[in-house]
Structure 1
Amino acid sequence: MRTRLVPAAGMAALTLAAALPAVPAHAEPAPRPHPAAAPQAGKGVRLHTNAELAAALRRIARASHGRVKVRSVGTSNEGRPLWFVTLGNGPRRLLYVTQQHGDEPLATESAISAVRDLGLGNGRAARHLRSKITLGVLVRANPDGHERNWRYNYDPDAKPEYGEPGKGYDINRYHDPAVRPEDNPVPEAAAIQRTYAAFRPSIVVDYHMQGRYAFPPPDGREITTSIQWPTAAGVPADAVRRSKQVAVRMNQAFTRAGAVVSQYPGGSYQGIARNAYGLRGSASLLVELSDLPPERQRFQVRTAHLSMVDLAFAAGTGALDRIDPARADAIPPRGPELPGARSAHDHGHGHDNAA
């Protein structure tokens, strides 16, 4: 592995980690490799199947003695549950969404471990954090796409504006606030809309994956993570300000963990989650993990995990509110694609590139 893992993202995460339990090795059986990951066995991350994901979340809920709750908030076109995990009972609500695109799986693995760490900790710091925040995580929003290792949901009758006819819809184009969930042709996006309306988060973070990029010379470093706040017309100024505070904190957490962070060149289409939930008044951020070689996948999972834990801690302590949002503008733009590194995660859909 070319990038050294840093044990925690800043002192806040270090403090919290010290209060969290060590999970016995027997508590979480190693998941079987996803078909797409099987050739990478021993190098890359072994991904939870849909059945293993459900079992893992239930085990965490049981071990938490009621601190972690797991429920389905909808089903896919093939009847697979969409799992929503909640923990904490504090006034500040955060919503994380992973894997709207079925072939972008790494943050789902991060979410499992983040929920375990934040929910099972019984030390003073962990208990205090849960009294300050309520965290909701929609883990793997596209189980049918994951099953097929493709971007879209599964809908053989699809005639989408965004997606592929006869294959499925691009879930992350169907969050338009002007479209009611009952009128949404994409059940997974409708479930996220309903969950958002019921949960009322002040912060939404949507985790994706992108191809491979580098900063131009003389820097030349490969980018491991790109982030972006809402850029649609009409997003309230206060939502943009708070989104930029989240971006600054995320940049700090990823960077301290050894990541190389850029802005993501996203567009202004209001149907994308990053823009849609900003338009609805939440601080909203897109996180794109680069599709690095298999031997660096664990690094990507680890840094995303740390970002989830660190943001929860920053929101709970109030540190997030003291950040100067103008610092987000200093995050450098994403550089060019690496030669020969074209990825399945790059889709030129005009309105917002691949997100």
Structure 2
Amino acid sequence: MRGCVIHGVDDLRVDELPEPVAGPGQAVVAVRYGGVCGSDLHYWRHGGVGDFLLREPMVLGHEVVGTVVAYGEGADGPAPGTPVAVHPATPCGACPECLDGRANVCRDTRYLGSAARTPHVQGGFAARIAVPAGQLRALPAGLGLRRAALAEPLSVALHAVRRAGPVEGKHVLVTGAGPIGSLVVAALRAAGAAAVTVTDLLPKALEFAAAAGATTLVPVGDPAGPGLPDEVDTAVEASGSAAGLDTCLRSVRRGGAVVQLGMLPPGMSPFAGNLVVSREIELRGALRFDVEFDAAIELLARDDSFDSLVSAVVPVERAAEAFALAADRSQSCKVLLDFGG
């Protein structure tokens, strides 16, 4: 059974892995597609994501869809053969955050393909995986596995928009038009934002943002471009850069909200903190998601425009090529690994 395993910086391998067996409460899923995420790229290029450092070989991947194969003792769910999306998080259900309805920041969660704890939680980039049965979501009729592979990153975007507060009728700035930034645009459109301005360094990335529904595209550093608006109601920082956060803080209106969604580099990051005070700006973090996963599946089922954000599907045997393509935002948006039938 093939799996995509990170062994260290620049050491990505397609290894032979043992077939999983469904334990009590578990389901085995035959994975069809897995989306290459920015965090997967960070493990590959840097050996970690933020403060989560790779300490042992780890199967990557948390954006996975496939079909149900079998269940272990005491488990049930969608019938074998049913197409499903896999929610990647298993919160503890007992910590203060879980009890407060914020399972996405659970202090003891298990997340597919994450080095946040040791032993690491092995991920979903394998031909078959065993996961808690409660993590399976049957796909609605008409939603194919290819588009459904966007459910996890779209959930991240929906959670960020939820953290921003009501956006209906408002002008929102999004810095960074990568896969997550473009999905934030789509989430804002679905939430009724009146205008969405998107910034990025790369023209190709802005094309994907336009396909997602952006109303104004701002190429960073291009004097011939439209330039930033004088003021926006809300901003979502999706580039993971201090420069992007600075742009958001300087663009949002007094009393507005800025959502930091992109993962900034580890350690200290400079930011215009005085503006947070003098303009009484609310700076909010957004991490992963919880119930938004089900909302993402519903949205994908009724909107085929998301298909344009899947820029390539690559067989798992060519995983190195897929990761290089996903890292090249001048060519790609969301790249999927194909694990076959």
Shorter-normalised TM range: under 0.3
Which gives a bigger RCO, structure 1 or 2 (Cα 8 Å, sep 6+)? 1
TM-score, with structure 1 as normaliser: 0.27
* Structure with more strand by fraction: 2
With structure 2 as the length reference, what TM-score do the two structures score? 0.28
Whose radius of gyration is greater, 1 or 2? 2
Looking at secondary structure, tell me which structure has more helix per residue: 1
